[in-house]
Amino acid sequence: MKSLSLIPLLLLLACETEAPTKGVVVNGFTADQDLVVHRVWWESTYFANPLRPGETSPEERTVPETGIAYAVIERKDQSFVVMKSKEPLSVARGELLYIVVSDETFTGNCAANAPLSQEDAEFLTVRIFPGEFANAKYDAKTCTTSR
């Protein structure tokens, strides 16, 4: 019976031998755009640190996966715009995922003539980033919020 009690410990130790999978967010907007990457969500990881143009977030643990990343950017007037990555992003076990948020890699910014569909915008404002859009209605065509 004693040998069976060692199995969970051995499994735990075996899991710790591999390097963890991590991710970072990079604000790829230019200084003249002055857009803050407010929040980002990818698969199981929430990046909560706002980033000014050119800044990179601290590394966060994540899972090896492929999926769409979602972001909230903040404009100069402190209003929010929701965006999603144009392509799924992938990271392998033990690797570092770079999520570069910019008009080249994400869609949803009306200033770049790339609004989301209203369905996508509602998914993001209701399911992914409800705190930023509580008691508000987001119009995807204009990237505006009414309360």
DSSP letters of 44-99? TEEE---B-TT-BPPPEE--SEEE-EEEEEE-TTS-EEEEEESS-EEE-TT-EEEE
Q: Kindly report, residue by residue over 94-129, the tens digit of the pLDDT.
A: 999 999 999 999 999 999 999 999 999 999 999 999
Predicted local confidence at residue 15, as pLDDT: 53
- The percent of residues in the chain predicted with pLDDT above 90, rounded, is 87
DSSP conformational letter for 128: I
pLDDT band, residue 12 (cuts 50/70/90): low
d(CA 58, CA 61): 10
Q: What are phi and psi of 64, to 5 degrees?
A: -70, 120
Residue ranges per structural domain of the chain? 20-133
pTM of full prediction above 0.95? no
Residue type, position 77, single letter: D
d(CA 83, CA 74): 11
Predicted local confidence at residue 147, as pLDDT: 86
- The percent of residues in the chain predicted with pLDDT above 70, rounded, is 88
